[in-house]
A and B are shown apart, each in its own frame.
Chain A
Amino acid sequence: MALEPSESTDPTEPSDPIETTQQRTDTPLLQTENLVKRFGQFTATDRVDLTIERGEFRSVIGPNGAGKTTLFNLITGALPVTAGAIYFDGVDITTLSPSARVRRGVGRSFQISNVFGGLTVRENVRLAIQSVARDEYTAVESLFKPTDRYDELNDRTEAILERIGLAHVAAEQANALAYGDKRRLEIGVVLATDPELVLFDEPTAGMSVEETQETIDLLEAVLVDQTLLLIEHDIELVMELSDRITVLNGGQILAEGTPAEIAANQDVQNAYLGGMTE
């Protein structure tokens, strides 16, 4: 199969008429160049060139084993790359640690249980705020000054708590939250790290139709300013939400385009969608 979408390798070419933020439209927010990941003999990510513009809602789909999660792990730094490069905001982040990437603005959301279960809701959010605000305080302060005396941090924490609608349960243990509230907290923690790009790994896996809709509403409400990159199995959802879709197969990019283009793409239909779209 051919590496079809040659336009994605060219960062200067403006992609779709999607709303890009005003400040800087010259460089794409995220760009991978010839990204390769091998596990022994197996190539999980095969020369992937991915370009994501500011403000875009991009989804990555593909059959099981297509290399979606590996691609995510490469972008967030959870796995080292075998070859190729990753640029974020025009800067090469290929060798940065996961935490350094977070501080540059690459946020990652996990599945629901991935919060600090034994800490309170407020502590969860404050930890994320504190992480990005760390340079504002001296070493001595951060070692010895009690957290409740950082007024500015606490104000920001309360603001996030308001925004995700969890202010009323701020003092509860995260473990004690109801299902939907945990989801909110998870997203709130990501939001609190002030990301420009947020990666979502199947945020609606295992959810009912209503829960899925609630989660999507929340994403759209809270993360309006962010660029989103989503892995998702639910094709309908992806078609409905995405500005652009990238289809992976066997570690390679099979196709890329608007939902309509993807739905019409014969390669995609053959390899992945089969008869699912009419």
Chain B
Amino acid sequence: MASELLQLLVDGLTIGVVYVLLAAGLSVIFGVMNVINFAHGELFALGAYFALALIAPFGGSAFFLALFVAPLLVGIIGVGIERFTVRPLYGRNPLYHILLTFGLVLVINDLIYLIWEPGSVTLPLPELLSGSIAALGVTASVYNLFIIVFGALMAIAVWALFEFTKYGLIVRAGAQDRQMVRNLGIDIDRYYSLVFGMGAALAAFAGIILGGYQTVNPAMGMSVIIPAFVIVVLGGLGSFRGAVVGGLFVGLVQTALRTYAPIFEGTGIFVLMIGVLLVRPHGLFGTDAADEHTGNLLSGPRGGFLDPQTRTRLGLAMVGLLALVPLGAGTLYSTYAVTLVIEIIIWGLFALSLDFVMGYTGLVSLGHALFYGLGAYTVALGLAHVSQSAFVVLALAIVLSAVIAWGIGFLSIRVSGVYFAMITLGFAELFYNMLGQLDITGGSDGLFGLSTYYGLAGVGVELDEIAVFLGPVAITGQSLFYYIALSALVASFLLTRRMLNSPFGAVLKSIRENEQRATFIGYETTVYKRRAFVVSGALAGLAGGLFTLNAGYATPSLVDWLNSGEVIVMVILGGMGTLYGPIIGSGIFFGLEELLTGFTDRWRLVLGTIFVLFVILLPGGLVSLPSRLAPALPVTPGRGPNPEPEPESNPDPEPATDVDDAHTRGDD
């Protein structure tokens, strides 16, 4: 028994040390620059791949060489990332960094696929580190011990660097007050690049040593980034001590769960994170000093280019055009067009639901796929157990999603900003892991083979049975579903727009503009945010429900965090805080995917690059493009495009209140 525990300790510490290195880099980058680096996992994978490339010509003995050269290379890449993508975003809300680095994830991950073979490879190890040692009834491989010792030394070295060197002092001072350090004549930007590079190098170290322990594969970054975030959030963003304690703790807990309670292996750490955040909203060792008082997510007027009447006409024309799509299917173009547009419509609805909370109250939900999946599974289970009426199960999906959204909102909305993003991510990952393990949800296979009819109380039609021919035009079940989805989207759009024009919507906008002020004119802002979250969750559930009705299945992959990320991509691409922008974003996303897959499998690389450029250059999304360009045009059409002023010209003498009014440039 004792030896079993000791074995557990050795295994747990091995993983734990890797987590510590990974989390330390993440945490330091956040602590110093307020940047949430989602690309950290990909830098970790890059480290392993660079090592692989370096070792290949020389064999295992080159491991030690690679152990130092590869992190150096990754560090240089890190410096480049900071210099060219992160730096333009300083002063904006840290949530923008989440968006930016999510784009980088897509880019780097696809680059890895592009350059190296997909599939797992073993990292050759030197003779020195092979073999094993048996002592106290435990057999530990030499490599295990090497990881623990090496990792511990690295962690101590980083700590000492920050604690005892002049470099560390300047960086810590910069984290406290950037401007002050600059006033002392120190080029703080250069130090930031170095910190980012160092964080990237730490991730690379972690990638190499884990690559030697397990295997090297393109998905390795994706598989560690979420646990790494859990650790950083657990320990407290920006706290080095938190990263160390959290990393070792999670490593041990995961190993113990795998041994003693495999059912909870996936879910355990998320329960832990959610629990800790609820009790200590800034993590175990975090302080609220790291809270984001650095710029609003997106404030200021929206759209503004077209006058309302033109916009209404344009909207109607778009809907009319969309309504025509199924009519040409099979004659003018293949029926696949209908399938594609259905996908765009469903994801457009999903993106619209996210925009309602993100664009209007500033709550960035990184776990919105939860509601999408919830709606999908409700429909699937409803069809199997409750009713085969599509309308009944869709209603169930909406109601259940709303209820769960209220519950999650109740727990999450008290934590703010970045922590809200993390806690919603935690809930989604928890749900994802539960879906894969429960029998009722069909485990990792999901639920499929569902049949439905469109009607109530047993009276209705099954879409498969329908095929009406009117001359060359065939009305099929698929076309009818198309109209159902389109109606759902239009109705949801009209409903949310109506809400935003009501007093309720006015409060949401005021929260987006200035939450503190909203509180001090008497609004209980958390209550309003929660209501918005419920509306949003319900609509996301509807989108997921429509997906399952159409596709006939529901699988855990619907709740994958990449889906949550991609829906954010659509919202930003189209234009946050506009309702219609995200729908356009969905169209562009799938349109691009469709277009690019014709040329390359690596469409995410292109898409990620486009997204990164959007976040940096056009945070208002595509719909802001016309009003951005308008001042440059000789004649401005319509009713004077922008009454909005240059937002930068703020005569405020000193921001003495704790609300920062550094407006973003995406105000139009």
- A116-B504 contact given A102-B521, A175-B300, A205-B656, CB 8 Å threshold: no
Interface residues of B in 500-514 (CB under 8 A from A): 501-507, 509-510, 512-514
Q: Do residues A118 and B301 form an inter-chain contact, with CB atoms below 8 A?
A: yes
- A114-B659 contact given A137-B503, A175-B647, CB 8 Å threshold: yes
A-chain residues with CB within 8 Å of residue B299 when the two chains form the complex: 117-118
Q: Identify the closest chain B residue to A142 (Cβ).
A: B503
CB of B131 within 8 Å of the partner chain: no
CB of B652 within 8 Å of the partner chain: yes
**A192, B520: Cα distance in complex, Å:** 12
CB of B553 within 8 Å of the partner chain: no
- A205-B654 contact given A102-B520, A117-B663, A175-B300, CB 8 Å threshold: yes
CB distance from B357 to the nearest CB of A (A): 16
Binary per-residue interface labels of chain B (377-403) against chain A in the complex, 1 for a CB within 8 Å, 0 otherwise? 000000000000000000000000000
**A132, B513: Cα distance in complex, Å:** 20
Q: Identify the closest chain B residue to A194 (Cβ).
A: B522
Q: Do residues A142 and B502 form an inter-chain contact, with CB atoms below 8 A?
A: yes
**A116, B650: Cα distance in complex, Å:** 13
Q: Do residues B510 and A127 form an inter-chain contact, with CB atoms below 8 A?
A: yes
CB distance from A206 to the nearest CB of B (A): 3
CB of A115 within 8 Å of the partner chain: yes
CB of A269 within 8 Å of the partner chain: no
A-chain residues with CB within 8 Å of residue B645 when the two chains form the complex: 173, 175-176
Q: Which of A15-23, A52-60, A143-151 contacts B (4 or more CB under 8 A)?
A: A143-151
**A201, B551: Cα distance in complex, Å:** 59
CB of A243 within 8 Å of the partner chain: no
Binary per-residue interface labels of chain A (90-121) against chain B in the complex, 1 for a CB within 8 Å, 0 otherwise? 00000001111011000110111111111100
CB distance from B192 to the nearest CB of A (A): 28
Q: Do residues A102 and B522 form an inter-chain contact, with CB atoms below 8 A?
A: yes
**A202, B514: Cα distance in complex, Å:** 20
Q: Do residues B502 and A145 form an inter-chain contact, with CB atoms below 8 A?
A: yes
Q: Do residues B503 and A130 form an inter-chain contact, with CB atoms below 8 A?
A: yes
Interface size on A, residues (CB 8 A): 50
**A150, B506: Cα distance in complex, Å:** 13
Q: Do residues B657 and A99 form an inter-chain contact, with CB atoms below 8 A?
A: no
Interface residues of A in 40-85 (CB under 8 A from B): 76
Q: Do residues A117 and B506 form an inter-chain contact, with CB atoms below 8 A?
A: no
CB of B563 within 8 Å of the partner chain: no
B-chain residues with CB within 8 Å of residue A150 when the two chains form the complex: 503
**A107, B519: Cα distance in complex, Å:** 11
Interface residues of B in 479-528 (CB under 8 A from A): 498-499, 501-507, 509-510, 512-514, 516-525
Q: Identify the closest chain B residue to A146 (Cβ).
A: B501
A-chain residues with CB within 8 Å of residue B505 when the two chains form the complex: 147
B-chain residues with CB within 8 Å of residue A132 when the two chains form the complex: 522
Greatest chain A CB density within 10 A among B506, B509, B520, B656 is at B520
A-chain residues with CB within 8 Å of residue B601 when the two chains form the complex: none
CB of B634 within 8 Å of the partner chain: no
CB of B11 within 8 Å of the partner chain: no
Quick one: which of A108, A111, A123 contacts B506, CB cutoff 8 A? Answer: A123
* Size band of the interface chain B makes with A: 35 or more
CB distance from A168 to the nearest CB of B (A): 15
B-chain residues with CB within 8 Å of residue A202 when the two chains form the complex: 656
Greatest chain A CB density within 10 A among B300, B518, B519 is at B519
B-chain residues with CB within 8 Å of residue A131 when the two chains form the complex: 521-523
B-chain residues with CB within 8 Å of residue A146 when the two chains form the complex: 498, 501-502
B-chain residues with CB within 8 Å of residue A214 when the two chains form the complex: none
- A103-B498 contact given A114-B657, A205-B656, CB 8 Å threshold: no
Quick one: which of B507, B522, B652 contacts A113, CB cutoff 8 A? Answer: B652
Q: Identify the closest chain B residue to A189 (Cβ).
A: B521
User: What's the dominant secondary structure at chain B's contact region?
Assistant: loop
Q: Do residues B651 and A179 form an inter-chain contact, with CB atoms below 8 A?
A: yes
A-chain residues with CB within 8 Å of residue B189 when the two chains form the complex: none
A-chain residues with CB within 8 Å of residue B300 when the two chains form the complex: 117-118, 173, 175
**A144, B500: Cα distance in complex, Å:** 8
Q: Do residues A110 and B509 form an inter-chain contact, with CB atoms below 8 A?
A: no
- A143-B499 contact given A99-B522, A115-B514, A118-B300, CB 8 Å threshold: yes
CB distance from B104 to the nearest CB of A (A): 29
**A222, B364: Cα distance in complex, Å:** 40
CB of B119 within 8 Å of the partner chain: no
Quick one: which of A126, A130, A172, A189 contacts B643, CB cutoff 8 A? Answer: A172
Binary per-residue interface labels of chain A (190-211) against chain B in the complex, 1 for a CB within 8 Å, 0 otherwise? 1011000000011001100000
B-chain residues with CB within 8 Å of residue A111 when the two chains form the complex: 652, 655-657
Q: Do residues B523 and A116 form an inter-chain contact, with CB atoms below 8 A?
A: no
**A103, B51: Cα distance in complex, Å:** 63
- A119-B643 contact given A113-B650, A131-B521, A147-B501, CB 8 Å threshold: no
CB distance from A6 to the nearest CB of B (A): 33
A-chain residues with CB within 8 Å of residue B507 when the two chains form the complex: 127, 130
CB of A128 within 8 Å of the partner chain: yes
Q: Do residues B502 and A147 form an inter-chain contact, with CB atoms below 8 A?
A: yes
Q: Do residues A206 and B519 form an inter-chain contact, with CB atoms below 8 A?
A: no
Q: Do residues B520 and A110 form an inter-chain contact, with CB atoms below 8 A?
A: yes
CB of B445 within 8 Å of the partner chain: no
Q: Identify the closest chain B residue to A110 (Cβ).
A: B657
CB of B265 within 8 Å of the partner chain: no
CB distance from A15 to the nearest CB of B (A): 28
A-chain residues with CB within 8 Å of residue B291 when the two chains form the complex: none
CB of B598 within 8 Å of the partner chain: no
CB of B464 within 8 Å of the partner chain: no
**A141, B301: Cα distance in complex, Å:** 25
Binary per-residue interface labels of chain B (547-566) against chain A in the complex, 1 for a CB within 8 Å, 0 otherwise? 00000000000000000000
CB of B661 within 8 Å of the partner chain: yes
A-chain residues with CB within 8 Å of residue B187 when the two chains form the complex: none
Greatest chain B CB density within 10 A among A107, A118, A192, A193 is at A118
- A206-B514 contact given A99-B523, A144-B498, A176-B643, CB 8 Å threshold: no
Binary per-residue interface labels of chain B (521-546) against chain A in the complex, 1 for a CB within 8 Å, 0 otherwise? 11111000000000000000000000
Quick one: which of B501, B520, B654 contacts A108, CB cutoff 8 A? Answer: B520
CB of B644 within 8 Å of the partner chain: yes
**A76, B525: Cα distance in complex, Å:** 16
**A206, B657: Cα distance in complex, Å:** 13
CB of B308 within 8 Å of the partner chain: no
Interface residues of B in 628-668 (CB under 8 A from A): 643-645, 647, 650-657, 659, 661, 663, 667
Q: Identify the closest chain A residue to B300 (Cβ).
A: A118
Q: Identify the closest chain A residue to B668 (Cβ).
A: A118
Q: Do residues A115 and B517 form an inter-chain contact, with CB atoms below 8 A?
A: yes
CB distance from B267 to the nearest CB of A (A): 34
- A114-B519 contact given A175-B647, A176-B643, A206-B653, CB 8 Å threshold: no
B-chain residues with CB within 8 Å of residue A176 when the two chains form the complex: 643-645
Q: Do residues A119 and B522 form an inter-chain contact, with CB atoms below 8 A?
A: no
Q: Identify the closest chain A residue to B501 (Cβ).
A: A146
CB distance from B447 to the nearest CB of A (A): 34
CB distance from B341 to the nearest CB of A (A): 30
Q: Would you give 20 A-B contacts (Cβ < 8 Å), ordered by A? A: A102-B520, A112-B653, A113-B661, A114-B661, A116-B510, A117-B300, A118-B301, A118-B512, A123-B506, A132-B522, A142-B503, A143-B502, A147-B501, A150-B503, A173-B643, A173-B644, A176-B644, A189-B517, A190-B521, A201-B657
Known: A100-B522, A144-B499, A206-B654. 10 other contacts (CB 8 A): A99-B523, A112-B653, A114-B514, A116-B517, A127-B521, A143-B504, A146-B498, A175-B300, A175-B645, A189-B517
Q: Which residues of B contact A (CB under 8 A)?
A: 299-301, 498-499, 501-507, 509-510, 512-514, 516-525, 643-645, 647, 650-657, 659, 661, 663, 667
Q: Nearest 6 CB-CB pairs, A to B?
A: A206-B653, A102-B522, A118-B300, A131-B522, A116-B513, A113-B652
